Structure 1
Amino acid sequence: MNSVSILLSIVFLINLGFATLLLVNRGGKNGAGYYGVVAAGSAMWVLAEFIFYSLPISSPMIPIATRTLYLSGLVFSPFFLFFSYEFLSTRRLLNRKWVGETMAPAVFIAFLVVGTDKIILTAYMQDGVKHIVVGEWYVLYMVVVAAYFLFGFVNLFKKYSNTFYESVERRQLLLIFFGSLISVSSGMTFNVVLPYFNKFDYFFAGPLLVVFFISFTTAAIFRYQIFNIKVIFTNVLVLLLWTILLVRALINNSLQDTLADAAVLIVSIPIGILLVRSVLKEVETRERVEVLATELGEANEKLEVLNRQKSEFVSIASHQLRTPLTAIKGYSSMLLEGSFGSLEEKAKEAVSRVFESSERLVDIVEDFLNLSRIELGRMRYEFTSADLKKMVAEVCEELRQNALDKGLTLTCGIKGDDQSGTGETEATWMIWADAGKVRQVLSNIIDNAIKYTTKGGVRVKLEKVKGKFRFSSVDTGIGLSKEDLARLFEKYARSEEAKKVVAGGSGLGLFIAQQIMKAHQSQIIVTSPGKGKGSKFTIDFPKDTGNHATIAGETKASILSSDAEGQPTETG
């Protein structure tokens, strides 16, 4: 065996292993299966060249090897075209009908190669070099094979031109393009075109230059990870193990050792297959997770944009609604007060309903405005020293009539824990806060207590506890279940019982109130023994110490429910 035969055998083994890896690991990579067939066809080409070059001209294998040489070109040229379409595509582009129609010319020429003398006639030896006599339709063979390759390279070049300049895909295409171009052009030159002119001095060169195809593709695999390296290495190790066991079984002189190695080989084959499949499954699963994560990230970004657009729309719409509603509320109030003359009782009743409805709508619009401000980060706070005792007393007084209209009691008590004997002063109830927004929170809590209480009353208390001012509102209303407590401060959250008692409402009041208190480094805590047993809302306000550093950060909301003994326990 001369040096050319040795080189051909080495190239064949490498190419065969490479084709096996591509075919086994084609899952999840569009075009990998087609490229595996290209590699398998080139391996068949190299093997046929090895047989043709190594055996004597009189060998019965020469005619088979000769026709196989040209048959291999009809295998990998159309599949190279298919690969060029699907490589780097995110979905399958080729259907079976198109593939079948495109393969038809290759199948026809393959029939001519194998079953007739139209393409290949015979082989003979001249001046120590084997020659092949081509048939009358050999030009047709050249045109068909060249057309497949030409269109394949045109597709790859188009994809290369359309990819981003610094992208990994562009570099992958560059390596694949030039590796395939060198191998295909050398094969077409030395094994297809020159034989037409009876030139066979370098007939062996084409198959040897397949090494460029393997080298460039291997570089693309390892440098740019066209196919998963972990799977490739697993297959290589398994194939290496099988090869070593097979070689040991063949070269052993002892029958006992041969049988032992053969048994180990037989056992290792299914184990190796299972190992490869498990690794492939793991890689495919990870790739699917990565794709899903990418898609989820993109969807999340789109949702954030949509959410911001929604908030902008709500803000604009609410602003547009507030102006006419304020006018309706103002003029109806003036009509009720007699600013435009006295009204009949029926007219007065109708205007009163208009006033109450507009007042509710103004509150709802204000809730939506505050929601959009919070979501867009535009909620503004004007912190000053504020008298909490005065605010609580004023809110209680404003809402007292609402309680009386429902036949409820509303008590408001203020209690201090200062035992120093110095007595209370106005300064002892001062907090550093946005007075308007704190008043809004207090009003919301007390108003809700009145709304959702059908009998009994509401007890409001302000006291000093552990260096803080504690505001609490206790009612005998509908109460809250654990499920309701868990989502009480979510946007648009309203319990089923609440909907039965008060049909209207946006479900935003407590959410906004909690966000306001977080901005004040505080929180609203709610406890309830259960449905029908009332609720208690509590807020601790830090004292105004005179150190007016900017209040920043948020305090995590804590939602509490009562245990069997009525003591508050944290649930979230």
Structure 2
Amino acid sequence: MPYQVIILFIVTIIGTILSYFLLRSDRRAVNILFSIFSITAALWSLNLGLFLNARNLNNALSFANFYYIAAAAIPLVFFYFSLFFKRENYHFNKNLLWLLTPFFLIVYSILVDRNFIVEQIFQNGVEKDVILNFRNYFIYTIYFVSFVVLSYFGLLKSYNYAKDRTIRDQLRLVVFGTLIGFVLGMIFNLFLPAFGNYNLIWVGPLSIIIMVSSISYAIIRYKLFNLKVIATEVFVFFLWTFILIRTILSTTSQDQLANGILLLAVTIIGIFLIRSVIREVEQREKLERLTEELGKANDRLKGLDELKTEFLSLACHQFRSPLTAIKGYASLVLEGSYGKVNPSVKEAIDKIFQSSDNLVDVVQDFLDVSQIEQGRIKYEMEKVDMKLLVEEIIGELRPNISKAGLEIIIDAPRESYFVNADKGKLNQVVINLIDNAQKYTKEGSIKISIEKEDGKVVTRIIDTGVGINEDDIGKLFGKFTRTTNSKKTNVNGTGLGLYIVKKIVEAHKGRIWVESSGVGKGSTFFIELDQA
């Protein structure tokens, strides 16, 4: 058997196996069309091999007609394949079925007239030579080239419209891979025969390997788990085939029995191996789908969170103005700006003032959180003396603290404690911590100490209040977090104050933390900033 025939038969087997295993992994329209494309290409190669190997010229003519029919199906199937490839939502237009007409006309003409394309075959030494019907062969060539051009027009159109990089890569791979195959096939099996060179027709089918491989790779490139199943099946199939051939070619009954037992064992093991790989692949693909769904859900949640933050910011801005007006007018009434007020009315107005004041603080907390999360807080850094800042704050808060029956003490040696900070934001941090200490301390004192430690300025706010449970310390600076004891002592808190404080301190590249010996034993808040 000539080596050209052996090569053609090998190409036929490779094309058929690749077609089968790809169709086996997924039965979408694109895979079915690819399978038909591969089978028609394999039939073309098979009949070419049979033509070259045929000794009877009459049989050779039959094989020649069959490979021209198979070759005529290749561009047609590839055209329909190009319509579906990477178009998941493509709705097939039934009007395109009329394009089958020229193919069926060619098939009908070849079957009715055996010499429609090949007028005569004659032996030229060891090789066969052919005389073609040039008029019909020209029509056949126009048909073939037209469908190839239409196919690439569709693929290039899909490439231009594709926005996803993965899809564009797959389309590029299919276009270049199949284009090389079609060019080689048309040169050696369409154009050269037209000029009388029929000796190289066995070269064209080698392009099948390039075409089928490029399409297969493009389809399974981003489904590597399916590739693992296909590789396992191919390996097991070839192993079975090898042992089966050994069994058939065994010269003794003992060898046949041994090889038969081995074949049975390998068959059982192979089946279990394929099933286990399929199960593994299904689990991984399921995990991959879940991961993708979780990613999409996470993106949606992030979007909703951003919308929530924007809404919160807008709502807080809208609330703050009327609340400030209520608080202002209530203050004017209490101060007597509108004349004397009845004591009972004054008491009611005072409640309005206190409530509006608390609500202003709540709105401000929400506004600060929204600005922090949107990254819209601007910090104007300057050299700030921590001791002077604390003394100013204590001067403002001392009346309220004394009214609550608490003592406030500052413990700091007479020297400067400079840090680089936004004075307004740092003021907010210290006020918040002292205010918290007052709210959660029923009796005793609040002590603020300031020290320099290893290039840092450490400020401690120490109270004798309700203390903190060890389990609550780790989550105290979280958003909307309040300890059990704090809820009992102060019901009006939002759980945002310490979250805001932590974010501001971190923006200063500082550190804040809390220590407590337990419930009822007070607590100590630490602010650590770099010394300026």
Shared fold, TM over 0.5: yes
| Aligned mates of 2:26, 2:65 — CA distance in 1 | 29
Q: CA deviation at 1:524?
A: 2.9
Q: C-alpha distance in 2, partners of 1:526/1:92?
A: 61
Q: Match for 1:538 among 509, 521, 524?
A: 524
What CA distance in whole angstroms lies between the structure 2 residues aligned with 1:389 and 1:59?
A: 110
Q: Distance in 1 between matches of 2:60 and 2:385?
A: 104
Counterpart position of 2:340: 342
Kept after mapping to 2: 8 A contact 1:179/1:212: yes
Q: Percent of pairs identical after alignment? A: 28
C-alpha deviation, 1:445, in angstroms = 4.0
Q: Tell me, which stretches of 5 or more residues in structure 2 are unaligned?
A: none
Partner of 1:471: 461
Supply the RMSD in Å over aligned alpha carbons. 5.3
Partner SS state of residue 36, structure 1? helix
Opposite residue 447 of structure 2, the aligned amino acid is K
Alignment of 1:384 onto 2:374: no
SS of the counterpart of 2:406? strand
Preserved CA contact (<8 Å) 2:310 2:370 = yes
In the alignment, which residue of structure 2 is the partner of 1:420? Answer: none
Do 1:370 and 1:512's aligned partners in 2 also have CA atoms closer than 8 Å? yes
- Letter of the structure 2 residue corresponding to residue 344 of structure 1: N
Q: CA deviation at 1:121?
A: 5.7
Following TM superposition, by how much is the alpha carbon of 1:214 offset from its aligned partner in structure 2, in angstroms? Answer: 1.9
Distance apart, 1:385 and its partner CA:
1.0
Alignment of 1:137-536 (within 5 A): 151-163=150-162, 168-179=169-180, 181-182=182-183, 185=186, 189=190, 208-218=203-213, 226=221, 231=228, 237-272=235-270, 275=273, 311=309, 314-315=312-313, 318-319=316-317, 321-375=319-373, 376=375, 378-380=377-379, 382-387=382-387, 390=391, 393-394=394-395, 397-400=398-401, 403=404, 409-412=405-408, 425-427=413-415, 430=417, 432=419, 436-448=424-436, 451=439, 457=443, 459-462=445-448, 469-476=459-466, 482=471, 485-494=473-482, 504-518=492-506, 519=508, 521-525=510-514, 527=516, 529=518, 533-534=519-520, 536=522
The CA deviation string for residues 356-375 of structure 1, in whole angstroms up to 9 with x for no partner, is 23312321232233223433
Indicate if the aligned counterparts of 1:522 and 1:539 stay in contact, CA closer than 8 A.
no
CA distance in structure 2 between the aligned counterparts of 1:239 and 1:101, rounded to whole angstroms: 41
The code of the aligned residue for 2:179 comes to F
Shift of the 250–204 alpha-carbon distance from structure 1 to 2, 3 Å rule, reads farther
Equivalent AA in structure 2 for residue 538 of structure 1? T
Relative to structure 1, the CA distance from residue 280 to residue 106 in structure 2 (aligned partners, 3 Å threshold; closer, same or farther) is farther
Q: How many angstroms apart in 2 are the aligned matches of 1:169 and 1:528?
A: 64
Residue 390 and residue 264 in structure 1: after superposition, are their counterparts in 2 closer, same or farther (change >3 A)?
A: same
Contact preservation (8 Å) 2:448, 2:459:
yes
Q: Does structure 2 conserve the Cα–Cα contact (< 8 Å) formed by 1:464 and 1:470? A: yes
Give the Å deviation of 1:49. Answer: 3.3
Structure 1 residue 178: Cα displacement: 0.7
- Per-residue deviation at 1:336? 1.0
Q: What's the secondary structure of 2:462's corresponding residue?
A: strand
Letter in 2 for 1:514: K
- Aligned with 2:6: secondary structure? helix
* Structure 1 contact 459–474 (Cα < 8 Å) conserved: yes
> SS where residue 127 of structure 1 aligns?
strand
The question of 1:15 aligning with 2:15 is answered: yes
Distance in 1, matches of 2:100 and 2:288, equals: 39
- Equivalent residues of 1:474, 1:536 under 8 A apart: yes
Contact 1:41–1:75, Cα closer than 8 Å, also in 2: yes
1:281/1:216 Cα in 2 relative to 1: closer, same or farther (>3 Å)? farther
Q: Following superposition of structure 1 onto structure 2, how do residues 527-566 of structure 1 map, counting pairs within 5 Å?
A: 527=516, 529=518, 533-534=519-520, 536-541=522-527, 548-549=531-532
Secondary structure at the aligned position of 1:31 is classed as helix
The offset of 1:341, in angstroms, is 2.3
Q: Is the 8 A contact 1:180 1:212 kept in 2?
A: yes
Deviation at 1:352, TM superposition (A): 2.3
In structure 2, what is the equivalent of residue 88 of structure 1? 86
Could you tell me how far apart the structure 1 residues matched to 2:399 and 2:351 are?
19
For residue 47 of structure 1, report the CA deviation from its aligned partner: 1.7
In the superposition, relative to structure 1, how do residues 165 and 302 fare at CA in structure 2: closer, same or farther (>3 Å)? closer
Question: In structure 2, how many angstroms separate the alpha carbons of the residues matched to 1:220 and 1:472?
Answer: 73
Residues 260/459 of structure 1: CA separation in 2 closer, same or farther (3 Å cut): farther
Determine helix, strand or coil for the equivalent of 1:342: coil
The change in CA–CA distance for 1:139 and 1:359 in structure 2 (over 3 A counts) is: same
Q: Is the 8 A contact 2:465 2:523 kept in 1?
A: no
Cα offset for 1:156? 1.6
Return the letter of the residue paired with 1:522. R
Provide the secondary structure at the position in 2 that maps to 1:427: coil
Distance 2:349 2:29 in 1: 72
- Per-residue CA deviation, residues 256-301 of structure 1 (Å, 9 max, x unaligned), is 3344334334433454455556556666766776777677667767
From the superposition, tell whether residues 488 and 439 of structure 1 become closer, same or farther in structure 2 (CA, over 3 Å): same
Shift of the 228–393 alpha-carbon distance from structure 1 to 2, 3 Å rule, reads: closer
For 2:58 and 2:261, locate their aligned partners in 1 and report how far apart those are by CA, in whole Å: 36
Taking structure 1 as reference, are residues 12 and 293 closer, same or farther at Cα in structure 2, changes over 3 Å only? same
Taking a change above 3 Å as real, the CA distance of residues 165 and 480 of structure 1, as seen in their structure-2 partners, is closer
Structure 2 counterpart of 1:36, which letter?
Answer: S
SS in 1 for 2:446: strand
Give how far 1:346 is off: 4.4
Shift of 1:378: 2.6
For structure 1, the residue ranges without an aligned partner over 5 or more in a row are 404-408, 417-423, 550-572
8 A contact 1:517–1:524 mirrored in 2: no
1:493 is displaced (CA, Å) by 2.8
Letter in 1 for 2:81: F
- Bigger drift between 355-364 and 165-174 goes to 165-174
Letter in 1 for 2:209: I
The residue identity in structure 1 corresponding to 2:15 is N
Normalised by the size of structure 1, how large is the TM-score?
0.67
Separation (CA, whole Å) in 2 of partners of 1:385 and 1:278: 70
Whole-angstrom distance in 2 between the partners of 1:281 and 1:385: 68
Residue identity in the other structure for 1:515: K
Q: Distance in 2 between matches of 1:400 and 1:47?
A: 99
Number of residue pairs the alignment of both structures matches: 509
Between the aligned partners of 1:286 and 1:496, the Cα distance in structure 2 is: 44
Q: Which amino acid aligns with 2:172?
A: R
Which residue identity lines up with residue 406 of structure 2 in the other structure? L
Counterparts of 1:42-57 in structure 2, within 5 Å, are 42-57=41-56
Question: Does the CA contact (< 8 Å) of 1:78 and 1:103 recur in 2?
Answer: no
